C-alpha cells in the first residue's frame, strides 16, 4: 500500500485548545500536516478544519475515528482529491518596472487568471486561485522577471457527493424528543445520525 493525499474535514464547536489537541494527534503518529485551514462553517457556532496529509488510508481511518472522540468534535471525514472540489489562493510580488516594461508578463498573468491587487512604484502584487500545480506554474513563469515574494494559503475544500453537514445537523435537531427521556438515546448511533 502506498501513501496518498487525503483531505480531512472536521466540524467542531469553537473551543480554545482544540486545535492544539488535534495537532498533537497528528504529531504523535508522526504525520506531517501539509495544509491546515480553520474557518467558521455554514452552521452558526460550528467551525470547520480542513487538513491535508499524505498517509495510508488505514492510518487516516484510525486518525479520523480518534479525532471524533474529542468532546467538541461533531463529525470528521476524510476524502481523496477526486472526492472534493478544492482551491488555494496565491499572492505574487514582482517589481513594477519589470511588469510595466515587459508587456508579455501581463499577457502571461491574464493566461493564468491572475489580477493585480496592489500596484506601487517599487512592486506589484498579483493574486490567483487554483490548485497547487496551477499556482506553482505561475511561480516558474514569474521568477525570470524578479519574483520578490510568494505566499499560498491553505486549502479550502467542499465534498462533491455531500449534501453538506448543515442538513445533517438540521435533521438531528428536528428529531422530536420522546415523552420519556431516554438516556444516551443516540449513543453508538453516530453513523445513523450523521452518515453522508
Same domain, 95 and 142: yes
Domain hosting 15: range is: 4-83+160-175
Instruction: Report if residue 98 sits inside a domain.
Output: yes
The CATH number of whichever domain residue 107 belongs to comes to 3.30.70.1150
For cell 480542513, the residue is 50
Instruction: Report if residue 113 sits inside a domain.
Output: yes
Instruction: Report if residue 186 sits inside a domain.
Output: no
Same domain, 22 and 64: yes
Number of domains in the chain: 2
Instruction: Report if residue 195 sits inside a domain.
Output: no
Reading the chain (196 residues) residue by residue, the pLDDT tens digits are: 899 999 999 999 887 888 888 899 999 999 999 999 999 888 888 889 999 999 999 999 999 999 998 878 888 989 999 999 999 999 999 998 887 776 677 777 788 889 889 999 999 999 999 998 889 998 998 898 899 999 999 999 988 876 666 666 665 555 444 445 455 555 555 555 555 4
Same domain, 104 and 130: yes
Q: What is the pTM of this model?
A: 0.76
State the virtual CA torsion across 63, 81, 153, 167 in degrees, nearest 10: -70
How many angstroms separate the CA atoms of 41 and 170, rounded?
14
Amino acid at each position: 500500500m502506498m501513501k496518498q493525499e487525503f483531505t480531512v474535514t472536521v466540524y467542531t464547536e469553537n473551543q480554545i485548545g482544540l486545535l492544539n489537541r488535534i495537532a498533537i494527534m497528528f504529531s504523535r503518529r508522526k504525520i506531517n500536516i501539509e495544509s491546515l485551514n480553520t474557518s467558521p462553517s455554514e452552521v452558526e457556532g460550528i467551525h470547520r478544519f480542513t487538513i491535508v496529509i499524505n498517509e495510508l488510508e488505514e492510518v487516516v481511518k484510525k486518525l479520523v475515528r480518534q479525532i471524533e472522540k474529542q468532546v467538541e468534535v461533531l463529525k470528521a471525514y476524510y476524502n481523496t482529491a477526486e472526492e472534493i472540489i478544492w482551491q488555494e489562493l496565491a499572492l505574487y510580488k514582482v517589481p513594477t518596472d519589470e511588469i510595466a516594461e515587459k508587456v508579455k508578463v501581463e499577457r502571461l498573468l491574464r493566461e493564468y487568471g491572475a489580477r493585480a491587487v496592489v500596484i506601487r512604484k517599487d512592486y506589484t502584487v498579483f493574486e490567483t486561485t487554483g490548485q497547487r500545480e496551477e499556482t506553482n506554474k505561475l511561480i516558474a513563469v514569474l521568477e525570470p522577471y524578479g519574483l520578490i515574494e510568494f505566499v499560498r494559503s491553505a486549502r479550502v475544500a467542499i465534498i462533491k457527493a455531500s449534501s453538506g453537514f448543515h442538513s445533517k445537523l438540521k435533521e438531528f435537531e428536528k428529531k422530536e424528543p420522546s415523552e420519556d427521556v431516554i438516556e444516551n438515546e443516540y449513543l453508538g448511533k453516530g453513523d445513523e445520525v450523521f452518515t453522508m
